[in-house]
Chain A
Amino acid sequence: QITLKESGPTLVKPTQTLTLTCSFSGFSLNTTKVGVGWIRQPPGKALEWLAVIYWDDDRRYSPSLKNRLTITKDTSKNYVVLTMTNVDPVDTGTYFCAHSMSRGSGTYYDPWGQGILVTVSS
């Protein structure tokens, strides 16, 4: 059974750096075609994809946030870290991590962690 759980601060001040950790079990990031992605959701709004890291250390970022995001992995300890610099109140929302799988017709996210609500406020 695959499970993921997000952890990190729930309140961050503007201009600070946000560091979120996704701890997972039930799969290995050494397995071909596997990845872990981050997706966020502002309150009452739609899902927004942020970043993904794959088994081969390939990393992809949202173009609009690329300059502020860094995704890393620790394969031996089964966690992925997302760092977002210079946060702003518009970055407030629930941040999800999710297991990603790449197959013949694309990549999907399943399952997802429960999410962590991050508020950016002074």
Chain B
Amino acid sequence: DIQMTQSPSSLSASVGDRVTITCRASQSISNYLNWYQQKPGKAPKFLIYAASSLQSGVPSRFSGSGSGTDFTLTISSLQPEDFATYYCQQSYDSPTAFGGGTKVEI
């Protein structure tokens, strides 16, 4: 099974900061990588498909990149509503798998 590792597990940042979250797959997954945002007490929200395709309605300050085993989610200018936990998910092979999450805190 493919394992997904995110780093860091948590980070502290301020409004306006540029934030980068890393996701690494245990083997190559091409660009079969999705990103989700989860706020406390809420269901995850789908942000990015296929490593870099921003979903409709997602602010352009979010971007994704990478292929193979290494991927990044970048928030160019952190906004108050962006404080949340972010998860990556590989869909290259079954079973799908989520990363351990990265909590973005103030």
Asked if A49 is an interface residue, CB under 8 A from chain B, the answer is yes
* With contact pairs A46-B87, A46-B101 given, residues A106 and B46 touching in the complex (Cβ less than 8 Å): no
Chain B: minimal CB distance from A68 (Å): 15
Number of B residues contacting the other chain (C-beta, 8 Å)? 29
* With contact pairs A96-B43, A111-B46, A115-B43 given, residues A106 and B101 touching in the complex (Cβ less than 8 Å): no
* With contact pairs A46-B87, A105-B31 given, residues A110 and B97 touching in the complex (Cβ less than 8 Å): no
Asked if B100 is an interface residue, CB under 8 A from chain A, the answer is yes
B76-106 to A contact mask, C-beta < 8 Å, 1/0: 0000000000010111101111111100000
Cross-chain pair count, CB within 8 angstroms:
70
Besides A63-B95, A107-B96, 18 new A-B residue pairs in contact (Cβ under 8 A), listed by A number = A46-B99, A47-B36, A47-B87, A47-B98, A49-B95, A52-B96, A96-B43, A96-B44, A98-B43, A105-B30, A105-B32, A106-B33, A106-B50, A107-B91, A108-B34, A108-B89, A111-B45, A113-B43
Q: Chain B residues in contact with chain A, CB under 8 A?
A: 1, 30-34, 36, 38, 43-46, 49-51, 55, 87, 89-92, 94-101
